[in-house]
Structure 1
Amino acid sequence: MRTEIRTYEVYNLHELTREAQTKAHSHWAEHYDYAWDKENRKTLQAFEQIFNIKVDRWSYDSCTYWYRFTSHYSEEEDNLKGTRLLKYLVNNYWNDLYIPKTYWSRNYKKKRKSRVFVSDDCVLTGYYMDYEILQPIYDFLKSPDDTTLYELMDRCLDGFFKACRDDMEYQLSEEAFAESCEANNYEFLSNGTLFN
């Protein structure tokens, strides 16, 4: 029997040459699995359950997105705008768009919910994409204009899928890769191959 000992020179990402960094990033990007897809789907499903729409087909990646949705509102509801739409949203969706503000005791052992003040922080699922999909509605409630309900739903979905695309683009960026390498203490060989 023969025993062999091999020695390797290992480097952190910032110690590699630019070419080796590029190789390490491209290898990582090829095997990358976007981790937030499940949370994004939950936000979209919660939005569909509250509002009377159905997103039939959709897709997004780090470069582009597209979607198609069907409104199940009546034609009269789809064409509501201005003050009438504002009142419609407040009367039908206020409790879905705003939750009572929570106050905690000093030692965080007791909490109480306000009966007066409300919050719009991630009201659908608790994930930040909730705010992204509802942002056009909050903007409309602050400043009503001639946007119809159908157009408002389209803006919500467009903002949501754009945010998903942007998040995926960032997750695949070299900056996110460098942060991941630093957080996980990844080490590389001089040619950019990940050292196990």
Structure 2
Amino acid sequence: MKVAVLDITGKETGRKVELSDEVFAIEPNEHAIYLDVKQYLAHQRQGTHKAKERGEISGSTRKLKKQKGTGTARAGSIKSPVFRGGGRVFGPRPKDYSQKLNKNLKRLARKSALSLKSKENALVVVEDFNFEAPKTKQFVSFLTSLGLENKKSLIVLGDTNNNVYLSSRNLERSEVVTGSELNTYKIVHANSVVLTESALEGIESNLKK
């Protein structure tokens, strides 16, 4: 499948690139996408939540009142969960939310997500570009030329470019990543994916393995 290469102004350069059918034209496996996105979101959780149980509360061990004759329920500890300030019953404990997926499934999920974007015509290839200095206005102009100013967009670069990254940092709907940082969640979350030529080469060589 051939796709026209655009320049930074959104105009065609007159060149076309061949997108690998192994990466951008497979039958999408939605369950693989689901599992990979689920793993990504699970890994965002710190799992440091903790509530103190009655054995961890600081308080007197004195018996509050005599066992019988008060007309109320018996009580032996101020740390009991029935009292304010007492321990929590079955409270949250630190937990590791990480999930394991094998490399082949994760690779299949990324290829499936890219194939879906390609099928929806939500995939754009641009030539490599750079800014002389971080300028949000210049980055907005770039998005406008591609018709992405009001859409959630993912810009994928071949290598780290601080000027481009810093130019996009104030924009809520746009994210700049390198090819090595690309994952299934970011692809699915974006309305449109913009690949630079150098990023395209890296992605294809990585996902064809």
Q: Above 0.5 in TM-score?
A: no
TM-score when normalising by structure 2: 0.24
Larger fraction in helix:
1
Bigger relative contact order (CA 8 A; separation at least 6): 1
TM-score when normalising by structure 1: 0.25
> Computing the radius of gyration over CA atoms, which structure comes out larger, 1 or 2?
2
